Chain A
């Protein structure tokens, strides 16, 4: 059974710092890995999706890397801002016929990030 672990569980940093969030998974036979952001009382917003054949994806100040063989992914946030404060979740999926996961994701428990001014 796939298990996803996120470290640290919580992180508090001053504004402007670069930071790294970690995600590890036990079964390397994944189809893709996604990073999500969740604000308090809200739904999840997809940040980055990395296919199993890719090594990294970038969007603005966010960069996610994937090392499938070691079962690890990192989310790098550059020049953090108070608006980045949220819970960050990673999720992995197994592939299915048709080249999709059908939305069947296994989530980690999340990292609660606080960026203080």
Chain B
């Protein structure tokens, strides 16, 4: 298994540009989430999904959109990038243990480092 993959690894945007950060997992996990990591602030939840077609907001959702059309993919869209969105973005997933009760052990991707100028 590749686990959780994220693309691109690095990205530089100009203010006002849009882009999509890709996240995919091959573990058949139901739950996926997006976090941003900023110096001195730890990781903060942006959006999360409890299954295909179901998403909800986290702590810092403004400026970001998500959708989940398949179990495997959970892209994060920046509609109009701002310098305040300069950060490292992590995608995570979790699922069930062999079809039984949910497991909260989180699997994280390697991150996307985004700079907005």
Contact = CB atoms under 8 A, between A and B. Distances in A.
B33 A46 contact: no
Contact of B111 (A4, A43, A102): A43
Contacts of A44: 43, 90, 92, 106, 108
A108 B42 contact: yes
Nearest to A44: B108
A89 B92 CA distance: 15
Contacts, number: 73
Contacts of B32: 103
Contact of B48 (A98, A104, A110): A104
A105 interface: yes
A45 interface: yes
Interface residues on chain B, size class: 20 to 34
Contact of A105 (B45, B107, B110): B45
A34 B31 contact: no
Given A103-B32, A104-B33, A32 B104 contact: yes
A43 B2 CA distance: 14
Contacts of A108: 42
B76 to A, nearest CB: 14
Nearest to A42: B110
Contacts of B94: 100, 103
A99 B102 contact: yes
A109 interface: yes
Contact of A107 (B44, B48, B103, B105): B44
Given A100-B31, A101-B104, A104-B48, A43 B42 contact: no
Interface centre among B101, B104, B109 (most CB of A within 10 A): B104
Contact of A89 (B43, B107, B111): B43
Contact of B106 (A34, A41, A106): A34
B58 interface: yes
Contacts of A107: 35, 42-44
A59 to B, nearest CB: 12
Interface of A: 4, 31-32, 34, 36, 41-46, 49, 89, 91, 93, 98-110
